[in-house]
């Protein structure tokens, strides 16, 4: 469908952008699009989480399909693969039949899933979208709540090359790096590689600082010393300072990282690849979740060591 609206010079031709999922990261991301002059249409399971955006000028809709009807481009940033499937295909109590994105998007709409999800689901969505005259790409991100607020996310694209190019002006308002890795599912596969590095790296800095503390050193001081050298990582620089002060405010939830680990392990198994480091991280994060910390930030892993709850070698 061609719109007769004229986009101002500071927005792309796709002026009307739908945004589904206004949680920890999505709220900031949608806010950047509003600030850039886009007409933003939102849906979230909990309307309360969208209220700051509505106060800033976003339009509320009662279903994902309603968002699709009002938009040239729709971005989804939800929690789990099951949530992605529900939003796109509908047929559930929360999103009834005929109220999903695929059913209600007009021909020419571009659908961008920025959730970390399954590569197979990304391929399924892309195929279903193409059959309806739509375009769909997977565009998961890394950078957490900090990157979402600062618009410095790293965005990994999978899908048709022309659709990915069309998405760039909008995605460029959300991140500092936008890279196409291949066809549908490639963005998700890259993100799972990222999550392997994140999860295993989290174990590394937690264990390093716990080792320092056990030897009578101040873990905060050790963090400052080693973060600038070969041991440095994003987690050690940004999450470790929170962890050692007991701040477990989530930038990314433990339960979501466990979901990502499960997806990565399944893909690795399909490829015949062993991932022993990831298996170790999964055991530790599952233990954190068993202690009731699934809704804490991923830096809560340090608490296992700090509280003497990490299993001993061989356990």
The CATH number of whichever domain residue 34 belongs to comes to 3.40.50.720
- Residues 93, 110: one domain? yes
**Structural domain count of the chain:** 2
Question: Across residues 291-303, what is the average pLDDT?
Answer: 97
Q: Considering the entire predicted model, what is its pTM?
A: 0.89
**DSSP class of residue 314?**
T
Residue 89 lies in a domain: yes
- Residue 144 confidence (pLDDT): 86
- Residue 156 tokens, joined: 């990994």
Q: For residue 234, what are the domain limits?
A: 190-306
How far is 122 from 112, CA to CA, in rounded Å? 10
- Residue 313 confidence (pLDDT): 63
How far is 146 from 254, CA to CA, in rounded Å? 17
Beta bridge partners of 135: 110
- Residues 120-157: tens digit of each pLDDT: 999 999 999 999 999 999 999 999 888 999 999 999 99
Question: Across residues 243-256, what is the average pLDDT?
Answer: 95
Closest CA to 141 of 115, 111, 167: 115
- Residues 78, 208: one domain? no
How far is 142 from 123, CA to CA, in rounded Å? 21
- Residues 214-240: tens digit of each pLDDT: 999 999 999 999 999 999 999 999 999
Whether 49 is a known active-site residue: answer no
Residue 6 lies in a domain: no
- Residues 237, 88: one domain? no
Beta bridge partners of 175: 153
Beta bridge partners of 182: 158
Catalytic residue among 49, 176, 191, 259: 191
- Residue 7 confidence (pLDDT): 37
Cα dihedral 294, 295, 300, 306 sign = negative
- Is the pLDDT at 6 greater than 90? The verdict is no
- Residues 198, 295: one domain? yes
Residue 238 lies in a domain: yes
Residue 3 lies in a domain: no
How far is 184 from 128, CA to CA, in rounded Å? 12
Q: What is the mean pLDDT of the chain?
A: 94
Closest CA to 252 of 261, 17, 310, 184: 261
- Residue 238 confidence (pLDDT): 93
Residue 4 lies in a domain: no
Residue 25 lies in a domain: yes
Distances in Å between the Cα of 28 and the Cα atoms of 25, 84, 150, 262, 302 are: 6, 20, 8, 27, 27
- Residue 11 confidence (pLDDT): 62
Last residue of a domain, one of 169, 184, 199: 184
Whole-number percent of the chain with pLDDT over 70: 95
CB atoms within 10 A of CB 314: 4
- Residue 10 confidence (pLDDT): 52
- Residues 173, 202: one domain? no
- Residues 158, 217: one domain? no
SS3 3: coil
- Residues 243, 300: one domain? yes
End-to-end CA distance of the chain: 61
Last residue of a domain, one of 154, 184, 214: 184
Give DSSP secondary structure letters for 254-282.
Answer: HHHHHHHHHHHHHHHHHTT---HHHHHHH
- Residues 52, 180: one domain? yes
How far is 290 from 271, CA to CA, in rounded Å? 30
CB atoms within 10 A of CB 96: 12
Residue 144 lies in a domain: yes
- Is the pLDDT at 4 greater than 50? The verdict is no
- Residues 171, 202: one domain? no
* Cβ–Cβ under 8 Å, residues 256 and 116: yes
Q: Which residue has the tokens 């009002």?
A: 70
- Residue 314 confidence (pLDDT): 57
Residue 10 lies in a domain: no
The dihedral over CA atoms of 233, 137, 262, 256, expressed in degrees to the nearest 10, equals 60
- Residues 146, 261: one domain? no
Which of the residue ranges 39-43, 158-162, 271-275, 310-314 would you say has the lowest mean pLDDT?
Answer: 310-314
Last residue of a domain, one of 184, 204, 228: 184
- Residue 137 confidence (pLDDT): 98
CATH of the domain at 245: 1.10.1040.10
For 77, half-sphere exposure in the C-beta direction (CA atoms, 13 angstrom radius) is: 27
């Amino acid at each position: 469908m061609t719109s007769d609206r004229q986009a101002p010079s500071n927005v792309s031709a796709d002026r009307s952008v739908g945004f589904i999922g206004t949680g920890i990261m999505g709220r900031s991301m949608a806010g950047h699009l509003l600030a850039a002059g886009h007409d933003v249409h939102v849906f979230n399971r909990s309307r309360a989480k969208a209220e700051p955006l509505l106060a800033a000028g976003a339009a509320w809709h009662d279903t994902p399909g309603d968002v699709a009807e009002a938009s040239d481009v729709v971005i989804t940033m939800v929690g789990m693969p099951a949530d992605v499937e529900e939003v796109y295909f509908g047929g559930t109590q929360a999103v009834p039949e005929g109220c999903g994105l695929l059913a209600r998007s007009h021909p020419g709409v571009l659908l961008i899933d920025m959730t970390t999800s399954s590569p197979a689901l990304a391929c399924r969505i892309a195929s279903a979208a193409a059959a309806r005259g739509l375009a769909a790409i997977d565009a998961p991100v890394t950078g957490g709540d900090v990157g979402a607020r600062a618009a410095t996310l790293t965005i990994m694209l999978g899908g048709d090359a022309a659709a990915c190019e069309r998405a760039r002006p909008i995605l460029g308002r959300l991140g500092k790096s936008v890279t196409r890795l291949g066809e549908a599912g490639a963005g998700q596969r890259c993100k799972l590689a990222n999550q392997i590095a994140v999860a295993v790296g989290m174990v590394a800095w937690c264990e390093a600082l716990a080792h320092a503390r056990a030897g009578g050193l101040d873990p905060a001081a050790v963090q400052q010393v080693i973060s600038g050298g070969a041991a440095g990582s994003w987690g050690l620089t940004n999450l470790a300072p929170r962890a050692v002060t007991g701040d477990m405010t989530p930038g990314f939830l433990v339960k979501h990282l466990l979901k990502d680990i499960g997806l990565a392990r399944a893909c690795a198994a399909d490829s015949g690849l062993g991932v022993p480091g990831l298996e170790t991280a999964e055991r530790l994060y599952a233990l954190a979740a068993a202690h009731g910390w699934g809704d804490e930030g991923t830096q809560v892993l340090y608490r296992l060591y700090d509280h003497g709850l990490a299993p001993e070698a061989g356990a």
